Amino acid sequence: MKLVFATHNAGKLREVKELIGHKYEVIGLSELDDLEDIPENEPTLQGNALVKARTVWNKYGLACFSDDTG
């Protein structure tokens, strides 16, 4: 199963692949075609993470999660 981690942070992506890469094909945002920059203009970190995950889901229909630490 392909799982998108909505990040451009190579370090975060590597850590997640080490944790769950044996069960899922984890990819980052840089591996998606035609994805424009996702605005991070929500007032909370949770809001920004949700926007990123929903954007990927709506455009690609892929399972996705996100993390925003500010």
Residues annotated as part of the active site: 68
In 10 A of CB 30, how many CB atoms? 10
Residue listed under structure tokens 């999660």: 65
- The one-letter amino acid code at 43 reads P
CA distance linking residue 49 with residue 1, whole number of Å? 21
